[in-house]
Structure 1
Amino acid sequence: MNTQTLQTEEIERLARKRAGAKMSWYIHASVYILVNLLLALLSAMSERNWAVFPAFGWGIGLLAHGAAVFLFTGGGGLHERLVQQERNRLALQRDPW
């Protein structure tokens, strides 16, 4: 294998890894919204507003997950678009050595 092939394979691997991390955050955020809507409905039927506590705690975790994915990684359908975006970003980076 030549150097170009290795570099292309490395770019592909890294692009898929980053796109997968972003996709996992989108899934995490969707589940967060759905579950907390259900908890808010249940809380509204009770006498106390207790649903804010799990929403707040889980929200901190969701923010940390988002920071790790979008701030520290530079960041068919959505997954394939994310993979392509990462390929393009990585292809533009030049090795100074």
Structure 2
Amino acid sequence: METENFNQEQKYLRAKKRVDEIKRYYIHLAVYIAVNLFISIKKIVRNMNGGETFEEALLDFNTFSLWIFWGIGIVFHTFRVFGFDFFMGKNWEERKIKEFMEK
């Protein structure tokens, strides 16, 4: 009885830790989007005030470089939280076969 309670408590603690990891990931993703949108808009407006067209300001590497470099960190965070099975997991082939068979 006591070992069963211990096992249940261990399962609960592992599940809580997993939920906390996923929560931190989504907070990181939300901050990534919000901060990068703010900085990008600010850079675009600054460049347009400097005489560039919207297209030139948008395509300036400095406008989206932070997206790229911080995005690399997001990708690694995604793999750490969800594992490498996130994109093409163990059941990916079976799901795709079923999906195509249904069409």
The TM-score, its normalising length taken from structure 2, stands at 0.65
Identity of aligned pairs, percent? 33
| Higher helix fraction (1 or 2) | 2
Deviation at 1:39, TM superposition (A): 1.3
What is the aligned partner in structure 1 of residue 7 from structure 2? 7
1: distance between equivalents of 2:17 and 2:5? 18
2: distance between equivalents of 1:31 and 1:71? 21
Amino acid in the other structure paired with 2:13: R
What is the aligned partner in structure 2 of residue 16 from structure 1? 16
Paired residues of 1:32 and 1:58 also in contact (CA < 8 A): yes
Segments of 4+ moved more than 4 angstroms: none
Q: Does 1:52 align with 2:64?
A: yes
* Two-structure CA RMSD over aligned residues (Å): 1.8
Deviation at 1:2, TM superposition (A): 1.2
Q: For the pair shown, which has the larger CA radius of gyration, 1 or 2?
A: 2
Q: Which moved more, 1:39-48 or 1:28-37?
A: 39-48
Larger RCO: Structure 1 or Structure 2 (Cα < 8 Å, ≥ 6 residues apart)?
1
Q: Which secondary structure state, in structure 2, belongs to the residue aligned with residue 51 of structure 1?
A: helix
Paired residues of 1:36 and 1:51 also in contact (CA < 8 A): no
Structure 2: gaps spanning 5 or more residues: 87-103
Paired residues of 1:22 and 1:69 also in contact (CA < 8 A): yes
The TM-score, its normalising length taken from structure 1, stands at 0.68
Deviation at 1:71, TM superposition (A): 1.2
